[in-house]
Amino acid sequence: MILARWRARRASKALIEQLRGEIVAATRRPALYEALRAPDRLDGRFEILTLHAGLVLRRLVAIGGLGHHVAQDLVDSLFLHFDDALREMALSDIAVSRRLKTMKEAFYGRNVAYATALASGSRANLAAALARNVYAGGPNGALHAAALADYVASIDAALAAMPIEDFVAGRFRFPDGPITSGA
C-alpha cells in the first residue's frame, strides 16, 4: 500500500513537471517576442508564462474532477519554481516573500481577466486585458495585443478540444497557435 502511494505520487509529480515544461517551452517561443513584441524582459516573460499557464489551468478546471487536483499541483509547481528563480537572483527571504505575494496577486488577477474575456467571446475585451497587462499600455500595445488575442483564442480553442486523457497520460503538447505580426 505504501509503495502504491509512492508510485502514484511519483507519477503525479512527473505529470506536473511535464505540464510545466510544456508551458515554459511555449513561453519561450521567439515569435511571441519578435512578431508580437511581447517585452523580452523578466516581467514580460512572467506575463507570457502567466498567460500560457492560465490557458492550461482554464482547461483543467473545465474538465473538473481530477483536473482540479492537477491544476492546483501545477500552480504549486509554478510558484515553487518562481521561488527558486528569485532566490537564484540572490534576493533575501523577505524580498522573495514580497515578490511572490505580488506575483501571486498578478497571476490570479490576470487569469481572472483573461478567463472572463475568453468566456465572454469578446476579442476586444481580451485584447484590452492583454494590452493592459502584457504591454503595460505601451506604444503600439493595442495593435500587438489584438494579434496576441487571436493567438490566445486559437490556443484556448485547441485546448478545449483536448481530452483529459492527453493531460493525465503525459501526452500534453502545447498547440501551436497562429502568430502574425501585430505591426
pLDDT in tens, 82-117: 988 888 888 888 888 898 899 999 999 999 999 999
HSE-CB for 154 with a 13 A CA cutoff:
13
Average pLDDT over residues 147-172: 86
Find cell 510544456 and name the residue. Answer: 22
N-term to C-term CA, the chain: 59
pLDDT given for residue 7 in this prediction: 46
pLDDT given for residue 3 in this prediction: 41
Average pLDDT over residues 12-25: 90
With a cut of 60, say whether residue 182 has pLDDT above it.
no
Q: Which of 19, 106, 107 is nearest to 66 (CA)?
A: 19
pLDDT given for residue 68 in this prediction: 85
Q: Can you read off the three cell numbers belonging to residue 58? A: 482554464
Rounded CA-CA distance 34/168 in Å is 33
pLDDT given for residue 6 in this prediction: 41
pLDDT given for residue 181 in this prediction: 63
**pLDDT band at 4; cut points 50, 70, 90:** very low
Per-residue model confidence as pLDDT tens digits over 140-149: 778 899 999 9
Q: What is the mean pLDDT of the chain?
A: 86
Q: Which of 173, 175, 183, 151 is nearest to 22 (CA)?
A: 173
Per-residue model confidence as pLDDT tens digits over 38-79: 999 888 899 999 999 999 999 988 888 878 888 899 999 999
Percent of the chain with pLDDT over 70: 91
pLDDT given for residue 50 in this prediction: 97
pLDDT given for residue 69 in this prediction: 85
